[in-house]
Amino acid sequence: MPLRIATRKSTLALWQTEHVAARLRALDPQLQVELVPLSTRGDEVLDRSLAAIGGKGLFLKELELALERGEADIAVHSLKDVPMELEPGFELAAILEREDPADAFVSNHFEDLDALPQDAIVGTSSLRRHAQLIARRPDLVVRDLRGNVNTRLARLDAGDYDAIILAVAGLRRLGFDARIRSRLCAPDWLPAAAQGAICIEARAGDHAIIERVRALHDAATATRIRAERALNQHLGGSCQVPIAALANLAGAGLHLQGLVGHATSGRLVRAEEHGETVEPEALGRRVAQALLDAGAGELLQGVCR
């Protein structure tokens, strides 16, 4: 029987799923793979922000139902879209090596964020990006922008925005490297937890399937992301809130930077710390608590109620 992979229908999601399929075929040339493309609520409702329609789980439910019904064996996700806690009966079987986690500044007329004129219109669907934009450039007009990568680029090219912010990873995977005018990166700008990483979800206890895909697991990436997701979870990050996190291996240890922002005022609260690679979750919780001690709780209360 072929290995059936549930995936969203967007161009980027299909690229990521084909990438997983190609990696699995390279390990076993006899393996047959069948894609099961599905549409999720997050893909269908584009006239409202993710925060307004329910947050991260919107991109998973239909794929998990396909797993539950036995219509698919695994599902492939962008890990930043995966809630901190999966529904009972599912587990993350593998996390692939991470692509560049940075955000990208994309514009047809301006080189970087600082080059934008006053009152320039910038598009983003993310409260995290919105908060960091306003913190750095309070004169900008930030407008919501939903849709897949191609749709967002088309809106920019149509003149609806002076610039848009997208993930570097998605642009690179789709061959749009040339559209990246500049990278927005640490320490000044932080990405979403797990941005740039692809994961594979499976039914809990489906040992044969899990063992097959576990060969794609990248331990170094997983260590970094475990710290980032622990920070997010400690802050109640199951909601669509302006939380950013980035962990990097530093010598024999792990360095984690965290940020909580406010999309209206542009206020940012930051914290960072070094820890042990063997306890990434503990490091995530410590940095999250440092953010709360510095006032992040006040910012989150107005968003996640």
Give the residue numbers annotated as catalytic, written as ranges: 81
Q: How far apart are CA 258 and CA 245, in angstroms?
A: 4
Q: Kindly report the number of other CB atoms within 10 A of residue 135's CB atom.
A: 18
Q: How far apart are CA 37 and CA 45, in angstroms?
A: 17
What are the Cα distances from residue 118, in Å, to 105, 156, 232, 266?
16, 18, 33, 16
Q: Which amino acid is at 141?
A: V
